[in-house]
Amino acid sequence: MAVSVAVDEPGILMEGPHWDDRSGTLLYVDIHGQHVHRWDPVTKHKDTYDIDCMVGTVVPRESGGAVVAAGTKFAFLDFETRQLTDVATVDQHKPTNRFNDGKCDAAGRFWAGTMGAEPVPTKVERKVGSLYCLHTDGNVTKAFNEVDISNGLAWTSDNSIMYYIDSLQYSVDAFDFDLCTGMLCNRRQVMTFNPQVDGVPDGMCIDTDGKLWIAMFNGGQVLQVDPNTGTQLRSIRVPAPQTSSCCFGGPNLDVMYVTSARIGYSAEVIQQNPQSGCLFQVTGLGARGTPGLCYNG
């Protein structure tokens, strides 16, 4: 196994990596830098799209371009014109809220959650976020509220279970999931963490064996866990304490891409952790991921 820097251009809060197997490119965001990045690991070419607010996550659209969750809006991003088209707005009565992580389900719906103001990393206005679903017809529904920091999402291969992270609960929750309707029920906790030891659970992906891989913010690691037994299986150390998210990519979906951050870092801390904020790649894991899914609206 080897961990190396994939893109040596540090951002402030890199997040939300998504492998688009149609184009062989990786999409990811810099939330505080207000950018969407689209990187080709073969040519090393990177396109950067400016967003006029904090952008929490991005996924490709089946019809072309991408959908972003930025500020408190869902919007379509046209890669050719670089223009944004607003689709829907949430949390209108909470002006300091913003979208954070998100992902699509197998029916092509886009799930993304919000969080409150965060003056200091992981110190947020509590219980003011929600998890939303942008349906393929453009309608938005709220799955639930009272969220601290809406984060990682993943589904089992049979689409019967959705895994979800609300970071300040220091756990992974599971829901019974109805793919036809998008309804959630039977919420239960399947994994817990010690933030002083492990870090804070952030972004998440799932492998073909049904094991979860979770980026641990302030932990400098990605943990592989078994949600069926609630046990940690292994730790992948990353040379960036603020490890933020992860996904599988590459032609065989066997390369793990890991985002990181340097939010709130002084010049001295950056000097001690110079690779913080970079995009990393992990090879030789012996695991494969499932394809990233597009928004079908």
Residue 123's pLDDT is what?
Answer: 84
Average pLDDT score over residue span 197-217 = 98
Residue 121's pLDDT is what?
Answer: 79
**φ/ψ (deg, to 5) at 271:** -65, -35
**91 is annotated as contributing to ligand binding:** no
Tell me, yes or no, if 86 is annotated catalytic.
no
Q: 0.95 exceeded by the pTM?
A: yes
Catalytic residue among 202, 207, 226, 254: 202
Residue 119's pLDDT is what?
Answer: 84
Quick: pLDDT tens for 220-278: 999 999 999 999 999 999 999 999 999 999 999 999 999 999 999 999 999 999 999 99
pLDDT exceeds cutoff 90 at 122: no
Quick: pLDDT tens for 99-116: 999 999 999 999 999 999
**22 is annotated as contributing to ligand binding:** no
**98 is annotated as contributing to ligand binding:** yes
Task: Using pLDDT thresholds of 50, 70 and 90, give the confidence band for residue 29.
Answer: very high
Question: Which of 260, 253, 209, 270 shows the shortest CA–CA distance to 234?
Answer: 209
Query: What's the fold here for domain 2-283?
Result: Neuraminidase (2.120.10)
Output the average pLDDT for the chain.
Answer: 98
